[in-house]
A and B are shown apart, each in its own frame.
Chain A
Amino acid sequence: MPAVQETIDRVRSIDVDQYKYGFFTDIESDKAPKGLNEDIIRFISAKKDEPEWMLEWRLDAYRRWLTMTEPTWARVEYPPIDFNDIYYYSAPKTAAGPKSLDEVDPELLETYEKLGIPLREQEILAGVEPKNRVAVDAVFDSVSVVTTFKEELKKAGVIFCSISEAMREHPELVRKYLGTVVPVTDNFYATLNSAVFTDGSFVYVPEGVRCPMELSTYFRINEQNTGQFERTLIIADKGAYVSYLEGCTAPQRDENQLHAAVVELIALDDAEIKYSTVQNWYPGDSEGKGGIYNFVTKRGDCRGKNSKISWTQVETGSAITWKYPSCILRGDNSRGEFYSIAVSNGCQQIDSGTKMMHLGKNTSSRIISKGISAGRSQNTYRGLVSAHRKASNARNFTQCDSLLIGQDCGAHTVPYIESKNATAVFEHEATTSKISDDQMFYCQQRGLSGEEAVALIVNGFVKDVIQQLPMEFAVEAQKLISISLEGSVG
């Protein structure tokens, strides 16, 4: 007998209409014609007022992309994507021009307010500084509409702006680092992104600076038939520290939309980057209609000695997720971390995991992955831990646990462990189970209802990862998990 019969029944009758961010903002937008060709790329580049070398970079990527084939190794199924049936550029008309908050379309501001993202910088009241301030870069379809707290960050020497702005204002930094972690030809979707990326965030934290507040980017897909291709580049110079949060939502639509982002992190000597994501793209309805295809390449390079990169992700959205935030542990004594909660329900398909590539000496990494599958979803953890010949004393610990709720879902674990150095010590453990009857009985005997008991157990199951999230995100993540499992949890 499976865990709780009523849970199973509810999972079956689940209605994914619980997606709370599925509204559409009716706003006039400026679009490039549908389809993909060199002219579209020139158009995007011109729109962004980009230097010549950037256009060449894009065109080169596009030509390479034409020779590539879509990867098919992931455990996901979807009809072929017509890459010529997508708008590659869409921007709210009023977003162009100088970005003072007063000039931003009130419709847009309202959208973000509805999403719970404050774009107005709170004023400091009589010496009382509000706690937990977060600087936000808001990306709407293809453009960044506003970046908050810029002035204050500037005082600390931190550059936080949209990547198009960075290309104009700090070309030397962009040119030095862009594409050095995820090369142009890395994979099909990363190459496509290199050709057509429209916006995204750029962060540079100078030597020895601890970024004074959390930085955050909020991505919103609004227009129909558009793809979002953002590019994020974060550089922590020697001894710097930054914590970065990423959130995303999209309207509820019947057709599938493509999101193919590239995120590059670079940590130099003694630097630390903490990157947290709460991914909540529209997952499609209960029959699997609509939803976002989330094909993302995220990679961090611990380039310097003693550097550290930590990925934390809560994946609840998207029809299909194909995402492997990775760490290249190049610097000696560097450390990589990956904490993940992946919740799938309805007809969602998740193929996610990480790669920890140990190249330097005394490098260490830790992977904690928790997958929860319900409904008719498929949830796969796919990961690689490798030690190069010279990676002496590399150390990895991996734990991936899967929880199944209902008998029509699947949970899969595909780890690859490659050790070419005898002093490398790798440990991997994985479990798959349902919520045990004993646990349920214990909770219910103490007066919890069946649904409450499941919620409690699931929360305990994901606790290791939730603890890694910054406070504001942890609260949001917990709420999201319960919304995603609504019908199967409570």
Chain B
Amino acid sequence: MNMEPRGMETHAETEIAELFDKLHQDLPGATDVSRSREAAFAAFRQNGLPHRRVEDWKYSDLRNRLKSVPGFAARRDDTAAAAILAAAGDVYGAVDRYRLVIVDGQFHAGLSDLTALAAEGAVVRPLAEALADEGAELFEVPEIAADNAAVGLNAIFCADGLVLTIADKARLSKPVEIVHALSGDAPVSTAERVVVKAGAGSEVTLLETFVGGTEGSFANSVSDFRVASGAKLVAARLQTEAAGTTHVGTALVTQAEDSAVKLIGAGIGAGFARHQSFVRFAGENARADLLGITMVRGGQHVDQTLVVDHAVPHCDSRELFKTVVDDDAKGVFQGKIIVRPHAQKTDGQMMTQSLLLSEHADMALKPELEIFADDVQCAHGATSGQIDEDLLFYLRARGIPEAEARTLLVLAFLSEAVEEIGDEVVVEAFEERIRSWLSAKE
């Protein structure tokens, strides 16, 4: 990879180094954990925050964005945490689900439905506790994400989060919501990690929501989904943080044979957001459906980046990403399908489409194929344009006012990706977000 020598250390980089000096003694985990933190910190010292000259961050210059890094919040009591959670809002309101609550990077067992989950074969542990006995294994990431700067930064500071272990063949009766709430009063940094171990043949729907925050907040979470053979996992990640927030969210997926994962990510909030997904096939006959919608306006910058690693034969992946850009906002999509040598019979299809609603909207697309095996079917498509005037005319000719017609077309455009998830709860919640986003403009 093309690593330019780093320039002058920025203010934020100095702050990160100072934070590590101050905190590292008290971070949880035994020697092996602190060793992997130190290794990540050494890499950070060498490369700094990722910037536009690092190919993977070409369109999302985190170094330029982060002028200052706030400190990590001290652990709050459950009452204070509940207040922050309430202030941040509830995306799934009426939906019957289990809840696991992370506030300002700290897992709050007292606010979470641990007992009911345990009854269904799903055990939850705070990450701080799990790090002590499971050790650095919890920080292990697929090769494709190994040199990712944001994942490294998370490993340096990660103090809490949760480990959700789902027993073999367990089928959870209700979806599990993992809320990542940020305090809205004062900016904080967070670096939590969620590790989900879905046992063989298990089935679960996870709803991850990222809410709250204020000007200057910096959230950098990692969710690591380890999916055992034959397991089915649906994960819907919805990010609607406050406008001034900087959000970097990473989803790591490792799939064993015969497993099926559907992952959808919605980038709606935050001033600057980067959603990255790294999917690795470790067993044959697995399938991944990766979906995403991005809606940006004002001066927002939202990036959806994904890498799918077909490391073994006979796996299928489907990617469908839709982006709507309004005002002066910028949308970014980067997608890469890697087919390793001998990963024959791979089928990978990636589609990304973007709709530019205003004159100064800005969109960058980079769909990539990297193929080292011959007996494969891989394709990608990418389009960028504005609302089709013919479609608009068609609707208006049938008496639908222009504004409503536009709304309808944008909704239809985004829904195409949302509906692929095939889970009613998710479809309804996501479409509701799309509608409220569209009506906020009027």
Contact = CB atoms under 8 A, between A and B. Distances in A.
Interface of A: 1-3, 72-73, 389, 402, 404-434
Nearest to A403: B374
Given A405-B374, A410-B371, A415-B382, A422 B357 contact: yes
A420 B384 CA distance: 10
Contacts of A433: 376-378
A407 B373 contact: yes
B240 interface: no
A414 B58 CA distance: 13
Contact of B356 (A406, A422, A428): A422
Interface string B360-386: 111111111111111111111111111
Contacts of B55: 73
B368 A409 contact: no
A434 B383 CA distance: 25
A423 B219 CA distance: 35
Contact of A406 (B358, B374, B380): B374
A114 B320 CA distance: 54
Contacts of A427: 381-383
A422 B386 contact: yes
Contacts of A415: 365-368, 382
Interface hub of B364, B366, B369 (most chain A Cβ within 10 A): B369
Interface string B210-223: 00000000000000
A424 B2 CA distance: 31
A contact patch SS? strand
Q: Return the 7 tightest CB-CB contacts between A and B, nearest first.
A: A422-B356, A404-B374, A417-B365, A425-B385, A428-B382, A413-B369, A431-B379
Contacts of A408: 341
Given A410-B371, A418-B363, A422-B356, A432 B385 contact: no
Interface string B316-357: 000000000000000000000000011010000000001011
A419 B362 contact: yes
6 contacts: A2-B374, A73-B55, A407-B342, A410-B371, A415-B366, A428-B367
A415 B365 CA distance: 8
A434 B372 CA distance: 12
Given A404-B374, A419-B362, A422-B361, A428 B381 contact: yes
B371 A414 contact: no
B375 A426 contact: no
Nearest to B361: A422
Nearest to A407: B374
Contacts of B344: 2, 407
Given A72-B2, A422-B361, A432 B366 contact: no
B contact patch SS? strand
Contacts of B366: 414-417
Contact of B379 (A72, A419, A421, A429): A429
Contacts of A405: 374
Contact of A434 (B341, B369, B375, B385): B375
A399 to B, nearest CB: 10
Contacts of B374: 2-3, 404-407, 409, 434
B359 interface: yes
Nearest to B369: A413
Given A2-B374, A73-B2, A431-B379, A422 B369 contact: no
A430 B379 contact: yes
Contact of A426 (B362, B378, B383): B383
A426 B384 contact: yes
Given A427-B383, A431-B378, A434-B375, A414 B368 contact: yes
B367 A430 contact: yes
Contacts of B378: 431-433
A262 B142 CA distance: 42
Given A72-B2, A73-B55, 18 more contacts: A73-B2, A410-B372, A412-B370, A413-B369, A416-B364, A419-B365, A419-B384, A420-B360, A420-B361, A420-B362, A420-B363, A421-B356, A426-B384, A429-B380, A430-B379, A431-B378, A431-B379, A434-B374
A423 B386 CA distance: 6
B371 A432 contact: yes
A404 B341 CA distance: 12
Interface hub of A72, A389, A402, A421 (most chain B Cβ within 10 A): A421
A409 B365 CA distance: 26
B382 A417 contact: yes
B385 A417 contact: no
A423 B384 CA distance: 9
A406 B374 CA distance: 6
A410 B370 contact: yes
Nearest to A399: B381
A407 B343 CA distance: 10
A418 B364 contact: yes
Contact of B375 (A2, A73, A420, A430): A2
Nearest to B331: A419
A426 B371 contact: no
Given A73-B55, A419-B362, A430 B369 contact: yes
Contacts of A421: 356, 359
A313 B366 CA distance: 24
A411 B363 contact: no
A489 to B, nearest CB: 15
B382 A402 contact: no
A251 B81 CA distance: 75
Contacts of B377: 432-433
B381 A429 contact: yes
B370 A419 contact: no
B341 A407 contact: yes
Interface in B138-169: none
B370 to A, nearest CB: 5
A406 B2 CA distance: 29
A156 to B, nearest CB: 43
A402 B364 contact: no
A407 B359 CA distance: 46
A426 B364 contact: no
Given A1-B375, A389-B360, A432 B384 contact: no
A407 B341 CA distance: 7
A474 B313 CA distance: 39
A405 B341 CA distance: 13
Contacts of B370: 410, 412
A419 B381 contact: no
A139 B361 CA distance: 49
Contacts of A1: 375
Given A404-B371, A414-B366, A434-B374, A426 B385 contact: yes
Contacts of B358: 422
Interface hub of A402, A419, A420, A434 (most chain B Cβ within 10 A): A419
